[in-house]
Amino acid sequence: MTKVGVVGAGVMGTGVAQNLATSGHEVTLVDVDGATLSAALDRIGLECRMSRMLGGPELDADAVLARIGTGTELETLAESAVVIENITENWDLKARLYPRLDAACKDSTVFVVNTSAIPITKLAACTGRPDRVMGVHFMNPVPMKSACEFIPGYHTSEATKDTVRALLESMGKKPIPVNDASGFVSNRVLMLTVNEAAFLVHEGVADAATVDEVFRECFGHPMGPLETADLIGVDTILYSVEVLYEEFNDSKYRPCPLLKQMTAAGLHGRKSGKGFHSYSHA
């Protein structure tokens, strides 16, 4: 059992907290918004109750929730051995958070950056402990995915890698090591695919349902790229594409204007009830 702090109670942070707690770890989930924390606990409770129905193991929701404490201040993470950060995929927000985390946690605490595109070395430089910062790109939904990208930064120590690898394996994850570059392997390819799919809709070449149909019916993918975008979050897709654009300064990563408009309009996908497809409750 490890004391693990989880920062950010959005889709990813909630999944990480659930996965940790069901694996027997003691979790402190921190978010600036109390209502977000309460929604996260509701979600985790429901996921645990439904686990067996969806083909997973039978889980005791009360026991899992008993292993999760919550807080709105970073200071509640002071005693965590590992802190997994899952806040919005935005450089400015993450860069502001890390010096505060650095001050709030004990010296030995290892920081895990859960990011889909931001270089780990660059974020590690925002702390006074770059040897104790490790990147992990978790996949969504976290408790159901059996692998993740495992990304050491330039200064990450072997001891830090060992700590994080052991934690991931205890969560049932296979860490796949890749080197530190914006977007790593997965999102360098996936985000461009989703961005280009959005351009197809934007230009009227095909509607969202048709784009997804081509990928499902012709390629046998379980989900089309725009259904995937709705699952990940349209806003998160935009932020990731923007990060790739900023990091590589290559116009092939220019974000589709439709992604910007949908993000501004609150059409963020499944989590908001509407994205490229509609999920609104009747």
Shortest Å distance, C-beta 228 to other proteins: 12
The contact set with other proteins (CB under 8 A) reads: 46-47, 49-50, 52-55, 231, 270, 278-282
d(CA 202, CA 273): 20
Asked if 80 and 109 touch (Cβ cutoff 8 Å), the reply is yes
CA 4 to chain centroid, in Å, comes to 16
Shortest Å distance, C-beta 54 to other proteins: 5
- Of residues 49 and 260, the one with the C-beta less far from other proteins: 49
Shortest Å distance, C-beta 62 to other proteins: 11
* Collapsed DSSP state (helix, strand, coil) of residue 190: helix
DSSP 40-104: HHHHHHHHHHHTTTTTS----HHHHHHTEEEESSGGGGTT-SEEEE---S-HHHHHHHHHHHHHH
- Of residues 62 and 75, the one with the C-beta less far from other proteins: 62
Asked if 229 and 197 touch (Cβ cutoff 8 Å), the reply is yes
d(CA 190, CA 84): 23
Shortest Å distance, C-beta 282 to other proteins: 4
d(CA 22, CA 116): 24
Give the catalytic positions in this structure: 137
Q: Give the DSSP letter of residue 161.
A: H
- Of residues 15 and 175, the one with the C-beta less far from other proteins: 15
- Of residues 59 and 81, the one with the C-beta less far from other proteins: 59
- Of residues 59 and 84, the one with the C-beta less far from other proteins: 59
Order of strands, sheet of 26-30, starting from the edge strand that comes earlier in the sequence: 68-71, 26-30, 3-7, 82-85, 110-114, 133-137, 147-152, 174-177
Shortest Å distance, C-beta 150 to other proteins: 26
Q: How many helices (H) and strands (E) does the chain have?
A: 12, 8
